[in-house]
Amino acid sequence: MDQKVRVRFAPSPTGPLHIGGVRTALYNYLFARQHGGEMILRIEDTDSQRFVPGAEEYINEALAWLGIKIDEGVREGGEYGPYKQSERRDIYREHVKMLLNAGKAYIAFDTPEELDARRESTPNFQYDASTRMSMRNSLSLSADEVKELLDNGAKYVVRFLIEPGRDVEVNDLIRGKVTINSSVLDDKVLYKSADDLPTYHLANIVDDHLMKVSHVIRGEEWLPSAPLHVLLYEAFGWVDTMPAFVHLPLLLKPDGKGKLSKRDGDRLGFPVFPLEWQDPKSGEISSGYRESGYLPEAVVNFLALLGWNPGDDTEFMSMQELIDKFSLDHCSKSGAKFDFEKGKWFNHKYLQELPDAQLTELFKPILKENGVEGFSDEYIIRVVSMVKGRINFVKDLWEQSRYFFVEPTEYDAKSVKKRWNEGTPQLMNELIEVLNGIDDFSCASVEPTVLGWITDKNYHMGNVMNAFRLTVVGECKGPHMFDITELLGKEETVRRVRLGVERIK
Ligand code: GLU
């Protein structure tokens, strides 16, 4: 690549960043880092109607949480700023003038009411070469009329003059050549005098050019805009430095039928936003990956594989490994099903990689919330090491291990029905005798003694052991029974068996 790689992530601050947007940011980042290039974060806030307070902060926080580092941006600064479009009005105004002077754009005075009326009277109306001379604009009106309207402060927009009947080629590094005939395009609005702001198309192209962007990597939903963008590069005379286009595949619903939406997340119970978000107007809260207990490394790994693969069956990759392996050649054209169960599985796997001491620190506040205090770190670490294989989230530790901290007060009804019968209390009383006779309560010592007793007496192994577990744990689940009793100790184990005999009916 002869040109320096410079990519940009260009979100509009219209709400919380959707998980699809996060994936776009991630691919931009991986690509930039791999090529020793730079990543820009540009805030595209030219649509004042859709601006949502807090959205920009949210974007910054989400990217930081995930470890996606920005080289140039509003907060980072950089040579090509400002990086917020609402602060670049002068630049856009100047570029609009360039197009007008070159005859590549024109001024249109049609009011919203006039446009509506026209849409009503002309089926499939499009503002283009076939209709523009019947509208009110600087091409159809005389120079004097235009001047008078402008002098009187009439509101206007600037439209792009699209020549019909031309094949416009978009070279997409994932999709190959995409050709579209210019006749299907309308004369897009590039600038509105009402708020002195450009539209997305103009601002986007001007900024990509001025910020020396080499690759435009964005979601597939922007592919339809690409031919227009190519024409704008031509109109400005910038074709030689036009960035390469990369349109990433859509994220699809888990069943593959249609685009992933917020509603799918609500319906199926998984977040579609990186961080929790509270809508400033309605107060409605949308869940986030962070607050739901996901590790950022797991989210990054999961997202990286939605639309890309490393070319082999490697699944676990750190950010650095992703940077090393990423390649546009292995990005898919077709949409990627959002398999949130896989996301959970990644989180499970990443939690297993955390040192027990670190998991313990994450677990402590949850213990506190549940009123558990006074256990040593050493004790909690041992609990964590025993049950972590069963968790997808840190919060699951509590459900999986509460009996290490509080005695069971209820006993799982199904297990009781299956494992507790008339003779069980007598068996458990005998077990208490056996346990009381053991001095060394380690697993290595208790296990052979208890199992030996069951065998000698010819008792049913499953019935005795399950009843025993029921009294100690409250249900017939959990890690190895004698690891549990080792940690609980003799006194507590015997106490629980006794309580079980009293309480289970
Ligand atoms: N502002 C657009 C968005 O919200 C940017 C699209 C692009 O990357 O060109 O996604």
pLDDT for res 44? 97
pLDDT at residue 337 above 90?
yes
Instruction: Say yes or no: 94 and 227 in one domain.
Output: yes
The proportion of the chain whose per-residue pLDDT surpasses 70, expressed as a percent, equals: 100
Stretch (H or E) spanning 216: strand 215-219
CATH of the domain at 200: 3.90.800.10
Answer yes or no: do 110 and 238 share one domain. yes
Smallest CA separation from ligand 1 atom 3, residue? 11
49: confidence class by pLDDT, cuts 50, 70, 90: confident
SS3 state at 6 = strand
Q: Which of 187, 217, 248 is the last residue of a domain?
A: 248
Instruction: Please tell me the predicted confidence (pLDDT) of residue 2.
Output: 61
pLDDT, tens digit (0-9, with 9 covering 90-100), for 344-396 = 999 999 999 999 999 999 999 999 999 999 999 999 999 999 999 999 999 99
Give dist(CA 435, CA 445) in Å, integer: 11
Pick the residue with more confidence: 269 or 159?
Answer: 159
Based on the fold, state whether residues 196 and 94 are members of the same structural domain. Answer: yes
Domain-located, residue 57: yes
Residues 122 and 36 in one domain: no
CA atoms of 207 and 176, how far apart (whole Å): 24
- Tell me if 439 is assigned to some domain: yes
Please tell me whether residues 296 and 206 are part of one structural domain: no
Q: Name 423's Cβ contacts closer than 8 Å, sequence gap at least 6.
A: none
In this predicted structure, what is the pLDDT of residue 48?
Answer: 81
Question: Rounded to the nearest whole angstrom, what is the distance from the C-alpha of residue 11 to the centroid of ligand 1?
Answer: 5
pLDDT tens track for 474-499: 999 999 999 999 999 999 999 999 99
Q: What is the mean pLDDT of the chain?
A: 96
Same domain, 237 and 102: yes
Does residue 380 lie within any of the structural domains? yes
CATH of the domain at 430: 1.10.10.350
55 and 107 in a single domain? The answer is: no
Q: Which atom of ligand 1 is nearest to the CA of 11?
A: 4
Q: How far apart are CA 53 and CA 2, in angstroms?
A: 40
Whether the pLDDT of residue 1 is over 80: the answer is: no
Domain boundary (385, 404, 423) is at: 404
Domain count, the chain: 4
Q: pLDDT tens digits for 202-234?
A: 999 999 999 999 999 999 999 999 999 999 999
| Structure tokens that stand for 115 in this block | 């446009």
Residues marked active site are found at: 262
Is 80 part of a structural domain of the chain? no
Residue 79 belongs to some domain of the structure: no
| Rounded (10°) angle between helices 377-387 and 481-488 | 170
Q: Pick from 39, 25, 449: which is nearest to 248 by CA?
A: 25
Radius of gyration of the chain (CA): 32
250 lines ligand 1 (CB under 6 A): no
Of all protein residues, whose CA lies closest to atom 10 belonging to ligand 1? 11
Rounded distance from Cα 460 to ligand 1 centre (Å): 67
Same domain? For 40 and 176 the reply is no
In order, the DSSP letters of 64-124 are HHHT---SEETTTB-TT---BGGG-HHHHHHHHHHHHHTTSEEEE---HHHHHHHHHHSTT
Calpha distance 73→43 (Å, rounded): 8
- Three-state SS at 259: strand
> Which ligand 1 atom sits nearest the alpha carbon of residue 225?
9
CA distances from 389 to 316, 348, 350, 384, 398 (A): 17, 8, 11, 9, 13
**Whether 467 and 376 share a structural domain:** no
| Residue-range definition of the domain harbouring residue 217 | 88-248
Q: Tell whether 47 and 147 lie within a shared domain.
A: no
Q: Tell me, yes or no, whether 481 and 369 share the same domain.
A: no
Secondary structure (3-state) at 138:
coil
Q: Express each pLDDT in 77-89 by its tens digit.
A: 999 999 999 999 9
What element of type H or E holds 172?
strand 167-172
Does a structural domain hold residue 376? yes
Determine the pLDDT at residue 505. 83
Does 422 fall in a domain? yes
Which atom of ligand 1 lies nearest, measured to the CA of 204? 9
> Do 428 and 364 belong together in one domain?
no
Which pLDDT does position 11 carry in this prediction? 98
Mean pLDDT of 106-128: 97
Q: For residue 245, give the nearest of 180, 189, 310 by alpha carbon.
A: 180
Look at residue 317 and tell me if it is in a domain.
yes
What CA–CA distance (Å, rounded) separates 339 from 345?
Answer: 10
**pLDDT of the residue at 204:** 98
CATH assignment of the domain containing 386: 1.10.8.70
pLDDT score, position 3: 81
Query: What CATH code is carried by the domain that includes residue 42?
Result: 3.40.50.620
